[in-house]
Structure 1
Amino acid sequence: MPIRNITVGWPGETRHPDALKAALAEFISTLIFVFAGEGSGMAFNKLTDNGSTTPSGLVAAALAHGFGLFVAVSISYNISGGHVNPAVTFGAFLGGNITLFRGILYWIAQLLGSTVACLLLKLGTNGMTTSAFSLSSGVGVWNAFVLEIVMTFGLVYTVYATAIDPKRGNIDIIAPIAIGFIVGANILAGGAFDGASMNPAVSFGPALVSWNWENHWVYWAGPLVGGGIAGLVYDLFFITHAGYEQHPTADNC
């Protein structure tokens, strides 16, 4: 069972040079991703005078997030595993692919990266407001909760299949592309309803900088539940643990 693979690690692991390098990689990658994704939304608002979301705006958001995530995962994959998302880190933890302490370090780095990206956007746009994720008219919090679970399940399942599974072979070459594609596709599917976050860090930075926390819990609970289920399902049914290789930790670096 996957639960047997969970590893807490040890506190000193967070001070290990390799763990700190991995956290820095997560910080930079998340900053780049959020800057591109959130920036595209701010640019759309400026060009349309804060008009309502249009099909072309939704496509632009999907492309910006898909391309941005492709780059963000690519540049950190060989250093930290290219999580760029607390939900991915949580799913990896439940599958025994990262220790608790290293995961917490990743979370801190990801949240800081998102916050710094939004602060830089606010500075660079002469004070424009970063748009916190919100629900569309007629969409309830439980509708959004279900959407975030399903979309994040698809994202983390893709991460497992292309980047974590030790049987993946050479498919990890296209892992960043596949991960970027599933995020772009999910934005096209769910962006008009709740913004399609799938990533608590992506939601946290704009909410903090704009100080808008309305329904913010949905963008944590949904992705963490969906990512956790994906990690457990993939690890339970598809990963053979004989000869299994975990991502490096302070104990085996």
Structure 2
Amino acid sequence: MSTLTEYDGTPVETIIARSIPDADPDDTFVFLMGPYRLLDPSYLYPDDGYPLPPDPLAPQAGAGAPDAIEATLRTICERVSDETGTTAFIASDVDIPTRREAEREQLPESGMAVIDQSVAFATASAGNAFVFTKAGLTTGAGAEAGAIPEHFRLRDPETRRRDPRTFCLFAEATKTHGENGPVYEPRFSSASIDEMDDAYDLRFRYFADREELVERLVDFVESYVVPLAR
């Protein structure tokens, strides 16, 4: 557990492969992190009837709870996997319970702390992608975006454990068309996230809708993750 490469004596890669259909421990894994729910105003103002904010990852009408975008991320993983020959996944795909889940369900295992799960899955993966949207509940992804680069010591070029090019942040933006092509104006903004390129040499890519996010992810995986994993 100290190195976060095993859980209950089993390599994390093996558990990921067992958890995802048609996956193999030798696959090139891509760990996708992002909001699982929308920031629902009713959490804060239950009596005021505010509508859910629009979000490019919100489920299509009739495709599940309107604020449950976890399913959208899973579908995006399936598309990225199919188009790149890798195995993309989200944390909830993997059959390792959190400590809270293990306690609540009285499981005969200790579970793994949520942030330890994230670091373990990132360690088992050749590529790591962080997705942020303006209306998404991104506290979890924000914590991951801090803990994972620190775990891999990305601040220091001399002691880095990974190539920063195998990490990428994807942020929602508004797209307009200028004289020289598309122009993106970020819709998601956070001072700490916005400066991660300076702190860790991480790159940003912007997307205006779900389809563009898939395109950006596929390009990231094909341009950096797969070549650098060889």
Q: Which has the higher strand share?
A: 2
TM bucket, shorter chain: under 0.3
TM-score (norm: length of structure 2): 0.27
